[in-house]
Structure 1
Amino acid sequence: MPRRSFLPLAVLTLLAGCGTGTTASPSATPSPAQDKAHVFQAVKADCMKTKGFRYVAHVDRPKLSEQDTQPFDYATEKAERAKRGLGIASSYLDSRANPDEGDDPNLAIILDLSPAQQSAYKKAQENCDVQAVRQVTGKNVTSWSDWYGQADETLRRLWKRELDGDPKLVELASAMGDCLTGKGYRVTSTNPVAMREWVVQMAQSNFRGNQKTMTSNGDGGAFRPLDLSPDEARRRLSKEIKLALDDLECGKQFYPAYLPKSTELERQVNEDFGI
């Protein structure tokens, strides 16, 4: 089983080289035991076929219930962060070393199309995604942005109620914020969810000026480092590693209490929306 990623899934969908892809035959009949993400992909592949396009059923990452759910281990996490930081800069380097690793097979299909065909393909994708979401989950969505927006809104509502409303997590998050402030970092909010997202936002700021918005394949606004030489990416990785280790040191009491609850809420929402 893959090691549970420390980054939230909302971030994992935006990073280069972080997904572990699995594929299913487009013509296979989904069984009741299949999770909604795989059922969704089979329905989408059939829809794309009716529109005259080839599409390979593909799930970008393992379902949360299939990931390593071992308790948070400080020593293991520290070793991982000392090597890869938070996985942002290192994913850029990994994508250079292994450009095809974990790639969506449909990217090659799209690249073989003319610009006009690519535009038609993407419109068909969005239409089929909307159709699949409605059929598989019963959610009334109208577009990619509406689909991901509804899921994000639902998750954040649950986070606010279940995590920011947990007195123990509030206490631990406040102590973590004090620790980070003592290390010279600027912390504007110590709510549990804000503290969890703080380190990701800080790591992304390491790439300010090297980012763009990507809207293909339903990902919505995506952060991704661009046009960096390997030497520059390694320099930024060193900075990211220091940030990741400081964050871990200050959050060594917070994260073991926060992550199991956060992961379970993400699993529930992803399952509900077929993501």
Structure 2
Amino acid sequence: MIVMLTRSRLAVAAFCLISAAGCTSPAPEKQPAGSGSGSDKPQLIQVAIANCMKGKGFKYVPWVPKVEMGEGARKAMLGDYEEMRKDRSENGFGIFVPSANRKPLWKESDSPNSAIKNQLSEAQLASYDKALTGCRIQAVKQVTGKVVASDADLAEQENKLIQQAIERDLNGDPTLIELASAMGDCLKGKGYRVDSLRPSDMERRGSKEFEEQKRRIALNDDIPENGLPEGRYYEPHLSAATTKQYLAKEVKAALDDLECGKDFYPAYLPRTTEIAYRVSAEFGKGL
């Protein structure tokens, strides 16, 4: 997956498979403390991190971001035609949406630990972050049994399992193969390029096409991508007028894609979403 990074800071981004409706997720359901259920693991991990940090002489407040999702977004995530059309009419595939219009699931400043870190000197912050990484790795293993080397490694392992499940359970499903093939034929008839009819490729085809356009723009602007991990780039700075032009083309393509996939998406998206939730729970994350 190609990940855009702002010029101000780099971030590890998890692979979002529910791209047809945007990368959004509901808040994890609360369970009784210590129940050990999948939805309880995020809080258990946070408590373990806090205890570990305390042992290293640092203050850390257990905190799980609360992410709210409206009913419309929830329906779109599961392939509802009307809600997907409403979203795509405004945002296309979500690639060239102006930064000001993007709604983050949560902000880092929402965390009580943000205020704690802001009080540290540069040297103290470096020590804090190093300790936090170690404690997070330890907590994930303690709660889930998963052995990870870093946040990036955790995301990579999670993504790999999600992709394996999709390949095994969805890309070989006869019904989805038939629906994806019909969607592909429809898009070809509208003049769009279709390189693969595999269900997972059909779901990502449109966003991948516009993501590649944005990547090419970024690689050819005046800001070098030196030192960035492979496949990542700084998000290009485009004028409002230029962004509007790209978004208009993207919206049209996204709506055509939806019309051709109006039978495919309701069959595919609920299943890929279930896989993403299930694997996320294995890693102690509330997707």
Normalising TM by the smaller chain, what interval? 0.7 to 0.9
SS in 2 for 1:177: helix
Q: CA RMSD in A?
A: 3.8
Size of the aligned set, in residue pairs, is: 252
Structure 2 match to 1:50:
55
Q: Which runs of 5+ in 2 are unaligned?
A: 1-13, 220-224
- Contact 1:20-1:60 within 8 A present in 2 as well: no
Structure 2 match to 1:239:
249
Shift of 1:120: 2.8
Structure 1 or 2, whichever has the larger Rg, is 2
Amino acid at match of 1:143: S
Shift of 1:90: 3.0
Amino acid at match of 2:178: E
> 1:2-31: per-residue Cα shift (whole Å, max 9, x none)?
xxxxxxx723899xx9667979xxxxx944
1:164 corresponds to which of 150, 162, 171: 171
Between 161-170 and 32-41, the greater mean CA deviation after superposition? 32-41
C-alpha distance in 2 between matches for 1:228 and 1:114: 35
Amino acid at match of 1:244: A
Structure 2 match to 1:181:
188
Matches within 5 A, 1:130-169: 130-169=137-176
Structure of greater relative contact order (alpha carbons < 8 Å, 6+ residues apart): 2
Does the C-alpha gap of structure 1 residues 179 and 21 become closer, same or farther in structure 2, counting only changes over 3 Å? closer
SS in 2 for 1:82: helix
Does the C-alpha gap of structure 1 residues 77 and 101 become closer, same or farther in structure 2, counting only changes over 3 Å? closer
Matches within 5 A, 1:1-275: 10-11=15-16, 30-32=33-35, 34-60=39-65, 62=67, 68=74, 72-90=79-97, 92-94=99-101, 102-104=106-108, 105=111, 106=113, 109-110=116-117, 113-208=120-215, 209-210=217-218, 225-275=235-285
SS in 2 for 1:139: coil
C-alpha distance in 1 between matches for 2:58 and 2:240: 37
C-alpha distance in 2 between matches for 1:12 and 1:261: 11
- Normalised TM-score (structure 1): 0.74
- Normalised TM-score (structure 2): 0.72
Shift of 1:252: 0.7
C-alpha distance in 2 between matches for 1:267 and 1:10: 12
Does the C-alpha gap of structure 1 residues 48 and 235 become closer, same or farther in structure 2, counting only changes over 3 Å? farther
Between 172-181 and 230-239, the greater mean CA deviation after superposition? 230-239
SS in 1 for 2:195: coil
Does the C-alpha gap of structure 1 residues 253 and 134 become closer, same or farther in structure 2, counting only changes over 3 Å? same
Amino acid at match of 1:159: I
> 1:126-167: per-residue Cα shift (whole Å, max 9, x none)?
212211110111112222232222211111111111001100
- Contact 1:169-1:192 within 8 A present in 2 as well: yes
Shift of 1:260: 1.1
Amino acid at match of 2:45: F
Between 37-46 and 261-270, the greater mean CA deviation after superposition? 37-46
SS in 2 for 1:90: coil
C-alpha distance in 2 between matches for 1:13 and 1:159: 12
SS in 1 for 2:201: helix
Does the C-alpha gap of structure 1 residues 82 and 188 become closer, same or farther in structure 2, counting only changes over 3 Å? same
Amino acid at match of 2:162: L
- Contact 1:21-1:58 within 8 A present in 2 as well: no
> 1:66-99: per-residue Cα shift (whole Å, max 9, x none)?
983686321221011101223343362235xx8x
> 1:203-251: per-residue Cα shift (whole Å, max 9, x none)?
3124223387988xxxx97677353444444333323212221221111
Identity %: 40
Amino acid at match of 1:51: K
Structure 1 match to 2:6:
none
Amino acid at match of 2:260: C
